[in-house]
Chain A
């Protein structure tokens, strides 16, 4: 049987989440920012699964399933918004899209 401490998985999840936060802050391309959000969602999924295994409880797995559904929906709508903004402004850089209205 696998004998890896749960804490290892949690620390890996913390690493991935921090990298996602870093990417959201320092990147300018809206598409890459979306990828970093996906990274953070996956870090959370890893935490869910680690605790699901630790508590021997199926609810963590159901939650991961729901997170995946929401992530898929979010990406579909978010990328459509980015395409719409690109048509209007010819850019996907977030520092050039800072007005709510134009």
Chain B
């Protein structure tokens, strides 16, 4: 190959506490489709955000057409011919196709600086034709399907003379037919000389459309695969291969298998899938899977927080009717959500008020709250979880992330959980607080609670779980017993392949 169109050399990027990228290199030739693969947190998104001008690297150089360039912001990136199709589409659904494509750079007619509507529509039509989209350019974006909206984003990139288009998980919300269309479109663009960097967890798509695969692992290059080498097993082999130190604390609990039975959990995210699983009393059941596998959504349906979802839950021998969060909470099933500040806590309220919020009734007599009783319990939680706060009256927003998370967990501990569901419990938390949360979770299990942990952190899920249920596209692809819990198996199940050792999720 001659000079690559784009080259990234020795790119490093650190965030407080983590090295996100460690001397990563990458190159894309003209008209080449490069697939970028790796686990959650391997550094794919960070690397692409550097290309898109969102982050700036601390080390390394970028070359376009063999010449060193500097990308300081999104405009620089666009000027170099790099187009970015984000997973969350950047569209204004109240405007029509042409207005979206020319947003921010509308051609104007002097003297009153009126938008030249004729011109933008005239310029848009051929772009749409080129992408095979037979829709008038005056259609409002809200009337298009997600796949069509994505096409509009691609059209926008092309209208900006993009030579490299980055697609981050472009098929995550597309149907099978739409995915086919997109893959055909990619082939077409390649034939026109447009280069594509394709990020996807779906290895089938990667095998179908990529000329070359680059795999990242823990922020480093884990190796590349040429066209003839691309297949499922080779990609997975490069994605794993990290040594995981396993300091698992074994369960000391007497397990009561089948204590929690969840049947036919259906979330609004995957309305066609029904998820069922069993969990034992005293066990930590991990839920692994790639981002978007529908784990959080399924749990929300289980606890009654998904208005259009439903689930049949049996706890012990009792069949529970759960329509609202109040019902699951009343039965001792608690969820610590992933979004601490948005869903788990009221950050403008004090530690005391947050701790007692779900069980205010038990701190009150005929509707009047006893602040003294609240304070006692809040202080107990502060002491037993070692929450670093000036006092029970401090506002939660003034605490660090780790301490906020402890409050978010503490408010349920005060109520004696039978089932505690933790969604990404250690995201954005420092190492010390992480270890404390791990210990706490194990103690809870040993004391007879069912613990369900959703984690996208491979190391964490392997470290904590007694068994691991792996989800893919809204369903459980298999459950791994303790002896079979390893990265290889988890990844295989997470990308939707079967593993011989995997067990069904329920009897």
Query: Is B one of A's binding partners?
Result: no
